[in-house]
């Protein structure tokens, strides 16, 4: 990453977004395998995290009490982790021709901190310009499902990263609405996937979106 923004190489950057329990991790693994089967080098990563320094920030964000941070503080932490993730993992991979599939990226910050917590969305856009620059995902897949279904799934596999899951249902409804707004505003990049379907059906829908939007 340079002061003028990152430089895109021969690889591609695909992000999966959605609320709690949407099944992103499963589909990231499936998509990585599918891309590799097409003959591309591919890595899977996640946000917050995906690089040593960013993983340290992740622990601060996803564990502990819900009142630990407000929306603005969370956004600042997310963008600090995001810049490290891009600088250390994503951009070098893309420059070398590797495809990158990420479980969450900046749309999650807009949905969770902007729509969910009510942080100023213009401020979030400014933070994006500072930390990321002109770089954008080639394709964003938004896994959408009802909030109660997602929270039930998340509770069934509950571990230590429960901070966001513990927020009120109304918060998660705002997050879902945010993701759908983001998709509607950028249809050239975003595809909404029905995440109430079975794992194989979701994977097929993702494969169709990949074939339609990117030359793989």
Domain count, the chain: 1
Q: Mean pLDDT in the chain? A: 91
User: 52-62 and 71-85 helices cross at what angle (nearest 10)?
Assistant: 160
pLDDT tens digits for range 63-122: 878 788 899 999 999 999 999 999 999 999 999 999 999 999 999 999 999 999 999 999
Domain containing residue 133: 13-213
How confident is the model over 9-22, as pLDDT tens digits? 479 999 999 999 89
pLDDT of residue 8: 45
pTM for the model: 0.91
Tell whether 171 is covered by a domain: yes
The answer to whether residue 145 is domain-embedded is: yes
Is 23 a domain residue?
yes
Q: Say what the pLDDT of residue 161 is.
A: 61
Strand-pairing partners, residue 44, are: 101
Residue 7, domain member (yes or no): no
Tell me the mean pLDDT in the region 172-188: 97
Asked if residue 6 belongs to a domain, the reply is no
Q: Which residues contact 188 (CB under 8 A, 6 or more apart)?
A: none
Query: What are the tens digits of pLDDT across the range 6-64?
Result: 434 479 999 999 999 899 999 999 999 999 999 999 999 999 999 999 999 999 888 87
Residue 2 lies in a domain: no
Say which CATH number the domain at 23 has: 3.40.50.300
């Amino acid at each position: 990453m340079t002061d003028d923004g990152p430089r895109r190489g021969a690889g591609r950057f695909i992000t999966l977004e959605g609320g709690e329990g949407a099944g992103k991790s499963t589909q990231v693994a499936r998509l990585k395998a599918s891309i590799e089967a097409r003959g591309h080098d591919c890595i899977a990563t996640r946000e917050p995290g995906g690089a040593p320094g960013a993983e340290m920030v992740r622990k601060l964000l996803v564990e502990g009490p819900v009142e630990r941070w407000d929306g603005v503080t969370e956004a600042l932490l997310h963008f600090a982790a995001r810049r490290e993730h891009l600088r250390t993992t994503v951009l070098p991979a893309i420059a070398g021709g590797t495809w990158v599939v990420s479980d969450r990226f900046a749309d999650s910050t807009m949905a969770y901190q902007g729509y969910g917590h009510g942080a100023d969305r213009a401020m979030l856009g400014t933070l994006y310009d500072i930390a990321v620059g002109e770089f954008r995902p080639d394709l964003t897949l938004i896994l959408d499902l009802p909030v109660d279904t997602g929270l039930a799934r998340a509770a069934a596999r509950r571990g230590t990263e429960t901070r966001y899951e513990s927020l009120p249902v109304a918060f998660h409804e705002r997050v879902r609405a945010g993701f759908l707004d983001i998709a509607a505003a950028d249809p050239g990049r975003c595809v909404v996937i029905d995440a109430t379907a079975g794992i194989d059906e979701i994977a097929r829908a993702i494969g169709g979106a990949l074939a339609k939007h990117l030359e793989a």
